[in-house]
Amino acid sequence: MNKKIVKVGDIACGAPELFLISGPCVIEDESTMMRTAEKLREVSERVNIPVIFKSSFMKDNRSSLDYYIGPGLDEGLKMLQKIKEQFGFPVLSDVHYPDQCAAAAEVLDVIQIPAYLCMQTTLIVAAAKTGKVVNIKHGQFLAPENMAKPAQKCVDSGNDQIILTERGYTFGYNDLIVDPRSFYHMNRTGFPVVFDITHSIRKYGIPSADAKGGAREFIPVLSRAGVAAGVDGVFIETHPEPAKALCDAASQLCVYDLEEFLKPILELHAVEVKYRG
């Protein structure tokens, strides 16, 4: 099956080279953002992996009004623009409402549709009509083969520059399950497929600031299984001090550990590409 190549800046998503989407879950203070971006630039150069910088200007699905949701559209986009200019990364963030798409498209290289909102037609159409690459995250409630449906909405709106991201589906009580069969189904759409590793280990119903809110012990085995199953990119939220992160503190990977984490992943990817059918 031919895989569509989707260009994000100079990155050919869907080509044999593995790419990385990474950054803090949500946009925090400038020091945190710049420290993360600086280290990501170093890691990108040292292990030769292209990076799309990701951070959310707004998290509208927090489980309590007391939790940090980000700086908002205007300030968040200013920060992403600064990172883009200073470090040369393409940038990605998620939108929650159709009226955010036009402003987001002025800065972002990739507009992301959150998992909970992947079936929201108006949102997908608005994102598609910007002409930007659209990353649609797999809804926790949706069979993976049905991700072809929101992708087709995007195509029917005149935009076939699509990436699909797996992040697990809800099973039982507050658990996310990553089924390797999902990578097969999503690959059959022909669009580049990304595995969101760090979100897949979140424990629903537990605050992300609680150490029990994420099962980091499963990151190595899940990441290796996903790469061996033939994904085109990996999505790893990173932070200089994950325990102090304002969102997903229990699941983000320390950016200073990222280089060593990626080395076996890149080796596995090379083997998978060699024997790819």
DSSP 265: H
DSSP per-residue letters across 44-109? HHHHT--EEEE-BS--TT-SSTTS---S-HHHHHHHHHHHHHHH---EEEE--SGGGHHHHHTT-S
Q: What is the pLDDT of residue 67?
A: 87
Confidence at residue 65, expressed as pLDDT on a 0 to 100 scale = 87
Residues of the chain short of pLDDT 50, as ranges, are none
For residue 181, count other CB atoms closer than 10 A to its CB: 11
Task: State residue 175's pLDDT score.
Answer: 80
pLDDT at 172: 64
Per-residue pLDDT tens over the stretch 51-88:
999 999 999 888 788 888 999 999 999 999 999 999 99
